Amino acid sequence: MYRPQITVVDCTIRDGGLMNKSQFTLDCVQAVYKAACEAGIHIVELGYRNSRKMFDPAEYGAWRFCDDEMIKKVVGDKKYEDTKIAVMMDAHKSTTDDLLPRDKSLVDVIRCATYVKDIDKCIKIVNDANAKGYETTINIMSISAAPERELNEVLQQIKEETKIKACYIVDSYGNLYSEDIDYFVSKYQKFMPGIEVGIHMHNNQQLAFANTIEGVIRGANYLDGTLYGLGRGAGNCCLELLLGFLKNPKFNIRPILDVIANKILPLKKEISWGYSVPYMITGIMNRHPEEAIKHMALPENDPAKYNFRAFFEKMLDQGQ
């Protein structure tokens, strides 16, 4: 599947930060950045650039805000020129005031995440970022729950009012199947010619990798992944699997294998992510994983933790 237009994005620190309130050590973030660069990854996303006015800085780690001084500590004396640095701005949790001009920052790419209802806020942020000199992309979250007419209008608005590089299909709930990927890629290509299609999958039904492959086959060129799938809830498409599938000779998987062994797997002692039955249940029901995350956080000695049938019935009741 070698295709020179494909851009691979590592989202480990950003998406994984949703499971530990972005409280990664500087050493861990430095190691992930270095490995991604040495592996030939095109873009590494170091966290969120969300507003300190909307979060308690005492509760969240530095990577929820990703200020430029912290990014300088990650990069150190050597910024790898072949790998761009990205941060994500939530449309409903960020403002244009949170972003310096590009020539005063080490950040190259602003990725704005938005729900359909917040598209006006999102467009304001990406247009401001473009004006300040950044590349931009848009991630449309919870797309499996987006009303058809509203999504069509949003895609048309993005095409007419922005100069983004790519627009992402985001399977926030881990609900989509391959035929859904076919449908959404085709829709994006129809409404937004000239804008690349991106794929960001969650693994509630163990389909994140398969659905990412399907996106590649259908012409999506921006691909998100995380090391060992580290990400919210059931996690994401494993970056190492994606590199194994892509036949781009520039990639070197060895640094990725090293950082998984040395930095990511040890996090299993502190963070629980990956496929589980509660995440599967919210996935098949097309529900936000927040209830499954709460359930998975129950103590091991709580008999409710492994009463999957009761959790299933609870989700059914809440959906009625």
Distance of CA 262 to the CA centre of its chain: 22
How confident is the model over 74-80, as a mean pLDDT?
Answer: 89
Q: Are residues 312 and 195 both part of a single domain?
A: no
| pLDDT for 302 | 96
Segment 84-132, tens digit of pLDDT:
999 999 999 999 999 999 999 999 999 999 999 999 999 999 999 999 9
- Residue 264 pLDDT exceeds 70: yes
How confident is the model over 278-301, as a mean pLDDT?
Answer: 96
The CATH number that applies at residue 246 is 3.20.20.70
Q: Are residues 287 and 196 both part of a single domain?
A: no
Query: What backbone torsions phi and psi does residue 11 show, to the nearest 5 degrees?
Result: -115, 20
pTM exceeds 0.75, yes or no: yes
Q: Are residues 282 and 260 both part of a single domain?
A: no
The CA–CA distances, whole Å, from 72 to 26, 67, 80, 95 equal 11, 9, 12, 22
Domain membership of residue 1 (yes or no) is: no
Segment 221-258, tens digit of pLDDT:
999 999 999 999 999 999 999 999 998 999 999 999 99
Residues with Cβ within 8 Å of 25's Cβ and at least 6 positions away in sequence, in order, are none
Q: Are residues 153 and 117 both part of a single domain?
A: yes
| pLDDT for 176 | 98
Domain membership of residue 310 (yes or no) is: yes
- Residue 197 pLDDT exceeds 90: yes
- Tally of structural domains, the chain: 2
Q: Are residues 196 and 292 both part of a single domain?
A: no
The chain-wide mean pLDDT, for the chain, equals 96
Residue by residue, DSSP assigns 170-232 as EETTS---HHHHHHHHHHHHHHSTTSEEEEEEB-TTS-HHHHHHHHHHHT--EEEEBGGG-SS
Domain membership of residue 108 (yes or no) is: yes
Residue by residue, DSSP assigns 18-35 as TTTTT---HHHHHHHHHH
- Residue 280 pLDDT exceeds 90: yes
Q: Are residues 183 and 290 both part of a single domain?
A: no
| pLDDT for 56 | 85
Q: Are residues 227 and 299 both part of a single domain?
A: no
Q: Are residues 210 and 250 both part of a single domain?
A: yes
Q: Are residues 233 and 303 both part of a single domain?
A: no
Q: Are residues 164 and 311 both part of a single domain?
A: no
Rounded distance between C-alpha atoms, residue 167 and residue 178, angstroms: 19
| pLDDT for 45 | 98
Domain membership of residue 2 (yes or no) is: no
Helix spans in the chain (H): 12-16, 26-39, 68-75, 119-131, 148-161, 178-191, 208-218, 239-245, 254-259, 277-284, 290-296, 308-319
Confidence of residue 49 (pLDDT cuts 50, 70, 90): very high
Q: Are residues 262 and 202 both part of a single domain?
A: yes
Residues with Cβ within 8 Å of 266's Cβ and at least 6 positions away in sequence, in order, are none
| pLDDT for 88 | 98
Segment 128-184, tens digit of pLDDT:
999 999 999 999 999 999 999 999 999 999 999 999 999 999 999 999 999 999 999
Residue 235: strand, helix, or coil: coil
Confidence of residue 1 (pLDDT cuts 50, 70, 90): low
Domain extent for 305: 277-319
Contact present, 45 and 86 (Cβ < 8 Å): yes
| pLDDT for 320 | 61
Q: Are residues 131 and 258 both part of a single domain?
A: yes
* CA dihedral sign of residues 269, 274, 276, 278: positive
Lowest mean pLDDT across 51-60, 169-178, 188-197, 309-318: 51-60
Domain membership of residue 170 (yes or no) is: yes
For tokens 């500590």, name the residue: 73
